[in-house]
Amino acid sequence: MLDVILHLSKYLDGEELRPDEPLKKHSGMRCGGKAALFLRPKSVEKLLLCLEALRGKPRFVLGGGQNTLFAGDFEGGVVCTLGLKGVRRCGDRLTVNAGETLAEAAAAAQREGLGGLEAVGTVPGTFGGGICMNAGCFGSQISDLLTSVTVFDGKRIRTLAREDCAFFYRHSLFSEGECVIISGELSLRPAPPAEIADRRLAFFRLRRQIQPREGGSLGSVFKNPPGDFAGRLIEACGFRGKRFRGVQVSEKHANFLINRSGTADDVLALMARIRQAVSEKFGVDLEPEIVVVPCLGAGGSWQYAHSGLTGKWADSFLR
């Protein structure tokens, strides 16, 4: 990694390039090990330089870290896209760069008198992360509003129509990790800014009513199985409010885990317990919604500590 650091230090400043960075600063769960290299380029040109320098090495693309758990040390480069700022309007369309937060994008749409993003604008995290996860709430999801997504596919920058992005519930083509999202274009509808502001406030209030207020969480840890709610199943297994080491199942919303003083191992172990209990009681295999970035084990293989999680979900982090 030293060669990459020396090369990139010619182009990036100290804010953009940080060796040995503690990852708990960059995950909503406030735990994790260290990244050998943490990069936060401030322009698309610099982003491409970073990706090129990391070619062939382990790398993980991060947005706001609101859905990401780092299982331990990351022996590669974490490329954070938060530095890619900018919003442009063209008619009723708004192009938002990946590093804007969803709240910032919704505020920009409000200023422009463009409605539609009020609900999704209450989801924590970046616009890029929101596209990757197909973030949504209160009956709307970001893919309903997108017309296209501009990405770097490893070779070139290209723009994909929404239909080509394989969006479905909390999943997209980008979940596979090959493309880095640079920006997305939204189709919105004209509305008075005051009305948009009222709707945004109402959605923020609703969120406060139904979700815990404490920090140290990643929102819902499991996806809702078809026709049911993961929170209901977890609660029915008696987990609501239960604490395992430093991690607690929220009293308010049983699909939220709150990190009081725990480690990523504790989070993963509690997830595994919940998953097993729900499987035994209901025969339902809960699929994690959060993204877990594995750590490199002593034998050189990627590990999930005590997670007991395997298969497609576990493999999707090795990019």
Ligand X SMILES: Cc1cc2nc3c(=O)[nH]c(=O)nc-3n(C[C@H](O)[C@H](O)[C@H](O)COP(=O)(O)OP(=O)(O)OC[C@H]3O[C@@H](n4cnc5c(N)ncnc54)[C@H](O)[C@@H]3O)c2cc1C
Work out whether 76 is an interface residue with ligand X (CB under 6 A): no
Q: Let me know if 289 is a catalytic residue.
A: yes
Work out whether 180 is an interface residue with ligand X (CB under 6 A): yes
For residue 45, with 0-12 CB atoms within 10 Å meaning exposed, 13-18 middle and 19 or more buried, which class applies? exposed
- Of 173-181, 187-195, 196-204, 230-238, the segment contacting ligand X by CB under 6 A is 173-181
Query: Could you give the string, one character per residue 135-154, with x where binding to ligand X holds by CB under 6 A and - elsewhere?
Result: xxx-----------------
Work out whether 234 is an interface residue with ligand X (CB under 6 A): no
Query: Could you give the string, one character per residue 105-124, with x where binding to ligand X holds by CB under 6 A and - elsewhere?
Result: ------------------xx
Q: C-alpha dihedral over 223, 226, 229, 234, to 10 degrees?
A: -70
Binding-site member from 96, 98, 237, 257 for ligand X (CB under 6 A): 98
Query: Active site residue: 18, 170, 199, 200, which one?
Result: 170
Q: Let me know if 178 is a catalytic residue.
A: no
Work out whether 77 is an interface residue with ligand X (CB under 6 A): no
CB of 193 to ligand X, least distance (A): 24
How many whole angstroms separate alpha carbon 141 and alpha carbon 119?
8
Binding-site member from 32, 121, 219, 288 for ligand X (CB under 6 A): 219
Binding-site member from 58, 77, 129, 231 for ligand X (CB under 6 A): 129
Query: Could you give the string, one character per residue 283-302, with x where binding to ligand X holds by CB under 6 A and - elsewhere?
Result: --------x-----------
How many whole angstroms separate alpha carbon 272 and alpha carbon 130?
26
How many whole angstroms separate alpha carbon 212 and alpha carbon 204?
13
Binding-site member from 17, 51, 61, 87 for ligand X (CB under 6 A): 61
CB of 121 to ligand X, least distance (A): 11
Q: Let me know if 162 is a catalytic residue.
A: no
How many whole angstroms separate alpha carbon 213 and alpha carbon 83?
27
Name the residues that contact ligand X, by CB under 6 A: 28, 61-68, 81, 98, 123-126, 128-130, 132-133, 135-137, 174, 180-181, 211, 217-219, 291
Please identify every residue annotated as catalytic. 170, 220, 289
